[in-house]
Structure 1
Amino acid sequence: MNLNMSNIKEGEDVYFECDIQANPKVFRVQWFQNGQELHHNVTAGVILSNPSLVLQRVTRKSSGHYTCRAINLNGEASSNAIQLSVKFAPVCSADQKWVYGGGRHQPVNVTCNVESHPEASTFKWAFNTSSEYVEIPQDRIFSSRSRSMVAYTPQTHHDFGSLLCWGVNDVENQKQPCVFHIVPAAVPEPVHNCSVWHNASAAGEPEPHFTVTGLAPGTEYRLAVVASNAQGAAPPTVLVHLTPIDVAEKRTSPSAADSAGAGSLVSLTPILAVLLGVAASLVVCSVVLVVVMRARSANARARAATQTKIIYDKASPTAKGADDGGFVQQERGPDIILVKSDTRVPGEDKQLVRDYLRGRDGSFYINPGSLLNNGAVVTRETEALLPDPTTSSSACSQGAPVTRCARSLFRGGL
């Protein structure tokens, strides 16, 4: 393998050649970087041409140990590893602090780490704001092996801004500076996204986490988590946690049973109050309904007890003198008189009929209920058809006239 290692920089092409002596001839050659086989990939800049390897536009990721392996019918053999170190200008390291807080007249130590090959020999610092760009004097810069630190002290509120850092090595100066932000110091923000676990379930959780022991079962605890810095402490974040009750203790402890009973009674009190209120409402509604129904029943009985009697009064005919032309005229008076009767005496209807038949005053009594039940009306014009009140209704069965039988039935209905 032949390679010129004197000056390989990032962006250049590198050629590897494997010198092989074999009998019979080899039929396959493989190339490896740090033990991983390389495959032909023009897009990635890897070109395999048996027995050569070409790396185009190498980068710092191309650095490593390279070997080749030859294979024939009798076996295989590998070459010694050769180290390829690609030289590149300084670049900012990924894992470092980018924001620093401080107060006025308080020095802030800012550290800048870079990666390069060879290592950065010198560093340059500058302060940058939207209005000015000021280089930091070299006497305030401390550098050692790709690492530099500067002590920066803000004097006014205008001195808070960005610090820029460049590293320099034998290849060239750093193209993109590392940017660090200097902000006014303040107390930290309250912690967030906190959780509480029981027992050892928090194992494996990311830092920070805390373990509290000796907690009583079935007890509510309030845990306060506070973040602080040199400027002060943040408002506490309070976490509420109820420790679980041990099953065995719950079964054997009288105090646990008493507390559980008291808790059940307290929880049932609102339910009992609601049920009692509903029952009282139902009772009141029932009483009001009974009173209304009784009042309506009393009014119905009072209306049923009230009956109406109709007295028909037809004036007796009187003869007039010759001035009247010899015609018979009747006195004009009330034909029907309504009489309200609240009580009914047994036999009263029959007695009124007898009085009518014997009298000649032209008045008679009609019971509306009897009219509806018997369907007959008694008038003075039909008086000649009426038999004596003492005549038995059995005469209908002995061939009496139909009208007389109807009158007898009517009288019997009264």
Structure 2
Amino acid sequence: MVFWFREDAGIPLYSFDVRGKPLVEGRHWSAPQVFGPRAYFRTGREPATLILKDIRRHDQGTYRCRVDFRNTPTRSFRYNLSVIVPPEYPAVFDKWGKQLNTTIGPHDEGDEVTLTCRVVGGKPEPAVRWLVNGIVVDEEFEHNAGDVIENRLKWRAVTRKDLNSIFSCQASNTQLSEARETSVVLHLYLRPLVVNIISKPSKLIADHRYEVTCETGGSRPPAVITWYKGNRLLRKVREESGDQANITTSTLSFIPSTEDDGKTITCRAENPNVTGLYVATHWNLSVVYPPIVSLRLGSTLNSSDIKEGDDVYFECHIRANPQWRKLSWIHNGELMSHNMSARLILINQSLVLQKVTRSNSGIYSCLASNNQGETLSNEYHLRVKYSPTCRNDRVMIVGASRAESLDIQCQVDADPPARSFKWKFNNSGETFDVGSERFSSNGTFSVLRYTPIADLDYGTLSCWAENNIAVQGVPCLFQVVAAGKPYPVRNCTLGNETTSSLVIWCIPGSDGGVKQVFVLELYVGGATTPRFNVTATETPYFVLTDLEMDVPLKVSIFSVNSKGRSAPVNMEEITLKDPQKRTGEGADVGTPPLLGIIGGAAITFLLIIVIFVSKMRMSNHNSPAMQCKKPTPPTFNAKQQVKDADERDPDIIPAKFEPRTQAEGPAPYTQGKCSWSDSSQTFRGGGDTREGIELNGLAIKEKLMAGSLPESCV
């Protein structure tokens, strides 16, 4: 029989009875108010043991085991049971008293971390200590109110290496069981450590798109990357975060402009949770582009006050990367070159024009180039003001009949336009001003209404204009002569002859002072009536088509003006033949015209000398009744080679003052002979507007203005 007692109590709290039974059939009894089902006496092993489950604090004490035998004395054993009460799990608090469950922070680098570990209960009294990453760092604890024990840890100036450190608080009062432990992990805000722009080109081409990447690492949480050009934030970026080493990348897409050359691109990485701390890298841009060119007039010049004789300079402002290597200057579409004799000087990026004339007016530009291309500047229109000059610097022959009113136009070139005109008349006897009521004017021309009545009304009219620059230096001259019938054409030539067509051209004769036209009549066979006629208004040039072969043709050409018609010039026995029948003619075509041209040139040269000597002799006489030859008609320049072989006797051409066809305006007018009488002149309204033909040469103007030679006899 086995009995268990507590202390010195006389009543057992557990019994095991095997009286009269086998050991395995023994009867167990446990006092319900003490152990109840928590106790069990195990006899299957040596020694026999009372096993207590779910031991409790009040189970602590001294227990006595008494064994009664049937034939031997009773034996007793004493056991002291000490019950250890473990403490509660530690609770961790920050310096503000907030309980921490799993993490500390986040804290900034350099912060001081203060942690308090609080443990309640435990018997015997537990020991409370701090471990960091498994290493004991603080074992000093203190009692608080009641059965509360605390251990306060101060971790000064946390650094990057403390990130994710495990701070553990352990409470233990026995080695029979593991210590009670609570752990928290330190979280930190970390600034980025490095930032780099990768794959950046050394040179950028303007107006091309580029993508560059900026990479940063070391930040926690991942850094925010911003891009700047100068001080301006760039927004077209694409950002990515990596998992390793807190790597963050950002890709910038941008199109550099010419203005970006020399500017700085900045990539800045920062942790927004770390105030004021960031890292940045800079990239100085080198943008290559064709020259940017701007043309300006010299800064010391007034563009509205440039006149002939002034010095002018232009400045070509160039911005280019790489540096420009060639600079060209352009005037009215033509390249300019350095020419000291023409007073055109090129210096660095300047164009100097010395003593400019009206020919320097026009559009200027400069062209600069480098290895990226070439650029033409803006156009600058240079206006060079000048005093009036005759639009045509030759003496104009105007033909008029007596009592015929005509309007004579004096046209000048001037900038600014002329503000006034004056006219003078000169004949062999006198020179006088023409009243302003006789003519009307605007900025470019003046029109004089003139009516010759008597012989003395034929002479020279002079016209001057004046603008804000100066008075016209050399007047415009008009020789008023008596109008008459035109002179016949001459030197008519056949050309471009085919089986059905031919071309005829002639040199016009004097127009008699009135505009003339040219008429060609074609006669077929021996007919006396023309088959058709053709009129040419400017020059005697005729193209005849749809003609018959092997039929004799006759051509009659004459000039016509308002005074009548000239004598005809006839070309007879013209027959268009089959080309096979004319094969032998080709060798003789070129020589006769060539001989005619050479002979005409020789005769012309001799006549120039004769006329010049005659004029010089005539200049020594001042007779109002002098007679003079008619001026020669305009010379016609054929557009194709002369092939006619029948020209044997060309007219004699006076060559001292050889007139030329006018470039514009109505056809010229001349007279045959001129004479002077003592009749007075008269101005009347009404009539034609005439400009006359041109006589070339300043010598004739000097003679006319000198008064020693009658102006009408030129």
Label 1:245 to 1:28 Cα distance change in 2 as closer, same or farther (>3 A).
Answer: closer
Alignment of 1:1-400 (within 5 A): 1-3=296-298, 4-72=302-370, 74-94=372-392, 98-196=396-494, 198=497, 199-202=500-503, 207-210=539-542, 217-244=549-576
- In 1, Cα distance between equivalents of 2:579 and 2:436: 70
Q: Is the 8 A contact 1:100 1:108 kept in 2?
A: no
The secondary structure found in structure 1 opposite 2:502 is coil
Q: Deviations over 1:99-118 (max 9, x none)?
A: 11112221122112111112
CA 1:214–1:59 in 2, change beyond 3 Å: closer, same or farther? closer
Cα distance in 1 for partners of 2:539, 2:481 equals 26
Residues in 1 aligned to 2:327 and 2:553: alpha-carbon distance in whole angstroms: 70
Maintained 8 Å contact 1:40/1:47? yes
How far apart, CA to CA, are the structure 1 residues paired with 2:393 and 2:308?
A: 23
Task: Please report how far the alpha carbon of residue 216 of structure 1 lies from its aligned counterpart in structure 2 after TM superposition.
Answer: 5.8
1:244 is displaced (CA, Å) by 3.5
Tell me, what secondary structure is at the counterpart of 1:20?
strand
- CA distance in structure 2 between the partners assigned to 1:134 and 1:43 by the alignment: 43
TM-score (norm 1): 0.54
CA distance in 2, matches of 1:19, 1:211: 57
Q: Larger strand proportion, structure 1 or 2?
A: 2
Moved more, 136-145 or 94-103: 94-103
Quote the residue 1:258 is aligned against: none
State the shift of 1:40 in Å: 1.4
Query: Contact (CA 8 Å) 1:215, 1:243: kept in 2 or not?
Result: no
Instruction: Mark the CA change 1:96 to 1:202 in structure 2 (over 3 Å): closer, same or farther.
Output: farther
Letter in 2 for 1:87: K
The amino acid across from 2:503 in the alignment is A
Q: Kindly provide the amino acid, as one letter, of the partner of residue 234 in structure 1.
A: S
Aligned-residue offset at 1:161: 0.9
Query: Separation in 2 of the partners of 1:116 and 1:210?
Result: 39
Structure 2 distance, partners of 1:97, 1:210, is: 30
Give the C-alpha shift of residue 174 in structure 1. 1.0
C-alpha deviation, 1:236, in angstroms: 2.1
2:327–2:366 CA contact under 8 A, matched in 1: yes
Q: For structure 1, which segment, 151-160 or 230-239, has the greater mean C-alpha deviation from structure 2 after superposition?
A: 230-239
Cα deviations across residues 318-367 of structure 1 (Å, max 9, x unaligned)? Answer: xxxxxxxxxxxxxxxxxxxxxxxxxxxxxxxxxxxxxxxxxxxxxxxxxx
User: What amino acid is the match of 2:436?
Assistant: Q
**Separation in structure 2 between the aligned mates of residue 69 and residue 116 of structure 1, nearest angstrom:** 31
Following superposition, the deviation at residue 196 of structure 1 comes to: 4.3
SS at match of 2:486: coil
Give SS of 1:116's match.
strand
> Counterpart amino acid of 1:58?
V
Deviation of 1:135 (Å): 1.6
Cα offset, 1:180, TM superposition: 0.9
How far apart are the structure 2 equivalents of 1:131 and 1:181? Answer: 15
Change (3 A) 1:222 1:84: same
Distance, in Å, in 2 between the alignment partners of 1:247 and 1:177 is: 58
Structure 1 residue 127: Cα displacement: 0.8
Amino acid across the alignment from 1:167? A
Flag structure 1 segments of 5+ consecutive residues without an equivalent: 249-414
Over the matched positions of the two proteins, sequence identity in percent amounts to 38
Contact kept, 8 Å, 2:504 with 2:542, in 1: the verdict is: no
Q: Secondary structure at the match of 1:21?
A: strand
What is the identity, as a one-letter code, of the residue corresponding to 2:354?
Answer: Q
DSSP 3-state at the match of 2:452 = coil
Q: How big is each residue's C-alpha offset from its partner over 1:19-69, in whole Å with a ceiling of 9 and x where there is no partner?
A: 333444444433222232222111111111111111101011111122223
Report how many aligned residue pairs link the two structures.
249
Q: Do the aligned partners of 1:146 and 1:167 also contact (CA within 8 Å) in 2?
A: no
Q: Which runs of 5+ in 2 are unaligned?
A: 1-295, 507-537, 581-714
Q: Assess, with a 3 A threshold, how the Cα gap between structure 1 residues 86 and 28 changes in structure 2: closer, same or farther.
A: same
In the alignment, is the contact (CA less than 8 A) between 1:121 and 1:146 conserved in 2? Answer: no
Question: Segments of 4+ in structure 1 off by > 6 A?
Answer: 203-206
| Whole-angstrom distance in 2 between the partners of 1:76 and 1:213 | 54
Structure 1 residues 241 and 75: alpha-carbon distance in aligned structure 2, compared to 1, 3 A threshold: same
The aligned amino acid for 2:452 is P
Offset at residue 143 of structure 1 (A): 2.2
Structure number having the greater helix percentage? 1
State how far apart, in whole Å, the 2-side matches of 1:84 and 1:151 are.
37
In the aligned structure 2, how far is the partner of 1:106 from the partner of 1:116?
Answer: 31
Note the alpha carbon deviations across 1:142-195, whole angstroms, 9 max, x for none: 223412221111121111111111122221111101111111122222221123
Q: 1:222–1:81: structure 2 CA closer, same or farther, 3 Å change rule?
A: closer
CA drift at 1:73: 5.2
Tell me if structure 1 keeps the 8 A contact 2:503–2:544: no
Q: 1:216 to 1:53 in 2, by over 3 A?
A: closer
* Separation of aligned partners in 2, 1:126 and 1:87: 26
Distance in 1 (CA, whole Å) between partners of 2:425 and 2:566 is 30
Decide whether aligned partners of structure 1 residues 27 and 243 sit closer, same or farther in structure 2, where only a CA change above 3 A counts.
closer
